Structure 1
């Protein structure tokens, strides 16, 4: 590298922390600032109310990055719970503050004064947000509903017609102890009498040791033919991907770390393959990285392939390798409306069954748990029961 090119490269690297800090400040300013403007400043409340609201907003803004750092980077579960809850509440307030301005301007056009319109907007935003936060918490903490879908796989042999595949994903065992919830999810899965049970990653936020009790009920999940697991992006935070693969193997699951197994029933066979998450290669975990060639190595090309891959966007490789059906999670269906709009900027599917080539279909689950904020708003959790149908 010449001196002429080295100097600009060094300058770019030195600017990265400043750019990151500036972007973070702008995002947090908007996230906390719009609700403050909508609920506190625009409403023309008496001075003591405005001052109190401003102090609360400022303290929340200053505390949030500290709590996030202590919680998610220093392993403090209490800080994580507070930061995650604050994030969920402020996101709901931000979204509905933006929507609330429609009411504000409508009232102004209707002849209302600025103070009347501002207070109507503030009260409406607070009321709607409070209802959604309470409802969203109940939705997040409940045992997921079962979503039943029949999927025709044309290359599937008649002996495998009616194969029942249960997909759970994104359990995200984390700072809120949900060991009891985990046992109930296991019971719900076992009631479905599955032939194959799949977990497509994001088991937990934290190490195996931290989430051992919450993950333990996974050992009790029953399947007649196979239980398959692949890593999600959260397993690689802290380079814990291999430890989760090892632990799932200890629990009796097949850890499909870029490999496959063959399922047989009624004289017909199906390839059940799995690949690492899309982030695995850049995670710094030796020997990890999505490798569909390795996963399908030695598989009979005439057999139908069911591929487990955490992120829907990994379907690009599935299409190029003639996979029949990919099962994924990751999106949470957006989790808290309208976050799904941002998810769709990164992923080709949000939830449900979609087709990506003449052969390849993708089923994306909204997931069983939640990441971060213990809220689900207009994005209910699910356990998917997929019944495979033969083309014949």
Structure 2
């Protein structure tokens, strides 16, 4: 129960805390980041001692200036109030391109140039040009490969998980996890249908979607999401909200998933029974729901487990891995999450780890709780995946009490 009493001191007694220097700097990040993403590669490729012919320098500089100006403008039109898909595609593609160029300009601009200098290869101009060509080659290869990786149907990753409290009757339960499909400006209706066909080939007992279905409202992305209605499971298809639902009228997505035959586990649970044994399958709204302002939305684990026998094993769906602290405190056996995308474009995973306790795969938390974090089925924003492949996950649950085959 939420305490609605107002115990705040009078406004006159409240003094806003002074923001730290780091906090103030972070507030300027949206302005600083685009400048760094475009000016650093521009300097490394054009002004780091290469002495290109003047036309090359002018044309190259003009392209970087266009990127610096065009990227934020396109993203504002694509993801702001106007929601223009063509602009979002341009802005997102420029964002991914600038990130890859920035990363490899920094790495090769320092490491390769140092290696060439130590090896005594060429003069300073020759070394600078070698670095420029290397950056362009590596970025071109990674962007081409990363685009193909983002648009492909994800590979299936299979993992056997033993849950100590799982009854023998549930041994071998097949749980398929998809998450972060992020249907968006690039129409992926055919991709969505192929993903669902792959899921059906796995003959799941339980299929879970742990949120971030799309970027955009249910009405706008309906055609891409409709194939989810073809997913088959012998027991249930369950879904929880992600943070992106709360940017795009979350209740509309809850209603559409219900219409497509999925059970939205909004702070509730269902019981999965087989051969006399029972598994509690629970779900919570994303943690961002608590500040969304939507009536009835919020992450409430106690509500999700209300009425469930505490002796039964619990499988919990929660979009963000960081919810595992609450799950471990409640003795949850297994939490399934997404959200991180495995970093999506290396080395962005270092920033993700600042916010989340796990990036991808299986991790242990507390005395009993396992967390499986999927790298996601789709992609967000930039249509690239670099060293962070997407996945459809098949988890086969095992009981320590199951009879072993002869």
Deviates more, 1:275-284 or 1:192-201: 275-284
Match of 2:38 among 27, 32, 37: 32
Match of 1:77 among 85, 92, 96: 85
What CA distance in whole angstroms lies between the structure 1 residues aligned with 2:195 and 2:141? 26
What are the equivalent positions in structure 2 for 1:305-316 lying under 5 Å apart? 305-316=314-325
C-alpha distance in 2, partners of 1:50/1:334? 34
1:349 matched residue in structure 2: 358
Q: Structure 1's 363 and 299: CA in aligned 2 closer, same or farther, altered over 3 A?
A: same
Alpha-carbon distance change, 358 to 40 in structure 1, aligned in 2, over 3 angstroms: same
Give yes or no for the alignment of 1:294 onto 2:307. Answer: no
**What is the aligned counterpart of 1:116 among 123, 126, 129?**
126
Show CA shifts across 1:168-203 (max 9, x none): 000000000000000000100000000000000000
How many Å separate the matches in 2 of 1:169 and 1:149? 16
2-side partners of 1:4 and 1:328: how far apart?
Answer: 42
Q: Pick from 241, 246, 262 the counterpart of residue 236 of structure 1.
A: 246
1:4 is displaced (CA, Å) by 9.1
| SS of equivalent residue, structure 2 residue 212 | coil
Number of aligned residue pairs:
387
Partner of 2:59 in structure 1? Answer: 52
Name the counterpart of 1:95: 103
Task: Output aligned runs, 1:1-392, within 5 Å.
Answer: 22-42=28-48, 43-73=50-80, 74-100=82-108, 101-111=110-120, 112-238=122-248, 240-392=249-401
SS at match of 2:36: helix
- Counterparts of 1:257 and 1:220, CA distance in 2: 22
TM-score (norm 2): 0.92
Change (3 A) 1:2 1:221: closer
Q: How far has the Cα of 1:21 moved from its partner? A: 6.8
CA distance in 2, matches of 1:222, 1:25: 46
> SS of 2:315's equivalent?
strand
Q: TM-score, normalised by structure 1?
A: 0.95
Equivalent position SS for 1:345: coil
Mark the runs of 5 or more structure 1 residues left unpaired by the alignment: none
Cα displacement string for residues 341-391 of structure 1 (whole angstroms, at most 9, x for unaligned residues): 111111111111111122100000011100001101111110000000002
User: 1:2–1:314: structure 2 CA closer, same or farther, 3 Å change rule?
Assistant: closer
* Structure 2: gaps spanning 5 or more residues: 1-9, 402-406
- Taking the aligned partners of 1:53 and 1:109, their CA distance within structure 2 comes to 29
1:39-87 alpha-carbon deviations (Å, 9 max, x no partner): 1111221121111111110111011111111001121000000001111
- Structure 1 residues 307, 2: closer, same or farther in 2, change over 3 A? closer
| TM-fit CA distance, 1:25 | 2.3
Deviation at 1:107, TM superposition (A): 1.6
SS in 1 for 2:354: helix
